Structure 1
Amino acid sequence: MAFSRYNNRRTFVNNDREYKKTFLEQRDANYIRQFDLARLYYPSDAMISQIDTVTAIWTATDKLYNIAAEYYGSPAYWWIIAWFNQKTAESDFQAGEVYLIPISLEEMLGYF
């Protein structure tokens, strides 16, 4: 089973009246448990210099899930590559941009 980036995330019940009116009445639910916002700490330059990486150049057709599948054996770890490059999604990358792919998935998961 894939490692979940939600493992250490706090959850809460949203008690906002407008939220309840908009989302809960339609679903016949009393509450929905939500994940709190993640506090992401991006890798420092010192950390990056200690990690084995592959340098790549982003193309207009690249997909993070394909890159993750190629390097980690599963598309589920696309977010590791995005996080390591201080991005949130493919749309944050520009064609021609140099980015890094950390080689050791286990080492990266250790930061979460």
Structure 2
Amino acid sequence: MNIIKKTALACFMAMSLGASTFAVAEEAAKGAVSDTAATIAHVEKALEEVNKSDFSAARLHLKAARTASEKISGHDAIVKQANDNVVQGQISANKGDVQKSASELQKALDLYKSL
């Protein structure tokens, strides 16, 4: 009888551990998607503000986009290139160059959307 109890307990513990591991993996995948969506939203808003020549609001969105993009995992090469484009867009926005800033932000937006 003790063997049956121990076997049942071991099986139950194995199943619960497996379920919690699956839940953690699923939560991590949802987090990556939400981080990418947040980054895209901030870059889109920054692009709108740059096109309006409102560089102070654009600067805030670009800073938030860079912070959110740090949480994106996977696709390191694409994320790095997109971050470089965001930085270049930010530099151009600080100089007041609407055309170049908008171009760099559009490139970054296309890269983030490809994830």
Give the TM-score category using the shorter length: under 0.3
Which structure shows the bigger proportion of residues in helix conformation?
A: 2
More strand by share: 1
